[in-house]
């Protein structure tokens, strides 16, 4: 899966990173490399929903898809 990420210079000197496809998925880093590493981690955490947190109706089915 490929996602677009926007990097911007923050007012405090940090590099701000966010993924427009994932609402409220933002982070920052002191360097470009740190900001990219942080946004990768933020995206992984955003997309990882533990199965224990998913409530299914009796006639529902949980499946996984790869994009």
Q: What sign for the dihedral angle of Cα 26, 31, 36, 41?
A: negative
Domain annotation covers residue 20: yes
- The residue segments making up the domain with residue 28 are 6-48
Evaluate whether 26 touches 16 at the Cβ level (below 8 Å).
yes
Domain annotation covers residue 37: yes
Q: What is d(CA 15, CA 34) in angstroms, rounded to the nearest whole number?
A: 8
Domain annotation covers residue 55: no
E strands, 1-67, are 6-9, 15-18, 26-29
Strands 6-9 and 26-29 turn out to be unpaired
Domain annotation covers residue 67: no
Overall number of domains in the chain:
1
Domain annotation covers residue 30: yes
Q: For residue 50, what pLDDT is reported?
A: 83
Q: For residue 49, what pLDDT is reported?
A: 83
Q: What CATH number is attached to the domain comprising 13?
A: 3.30.160.250
Domain annotation covers residue 43: yes
pLDDT in tens, the chain (67 residues): 899 999 999 999 999 999 999 999 999 999 999 999 999 999 999 998 888 888 888 899 988 888 8
């Amino acid at each position: 899966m490929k996602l677009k990420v926007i990097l911007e210079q923050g007012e405090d000197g940090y590099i701000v990173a966010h993924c427009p496809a994932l609402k409220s998925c933002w982070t920052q880093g002191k360097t470009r490399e740190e900001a990219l590493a942080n946004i990768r981690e933020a995206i992984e955490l955003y997309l990882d929903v533990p199965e224990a947190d998913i409530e299914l109706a009796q006639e529902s089915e949980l499946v996984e898809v790869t994009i």
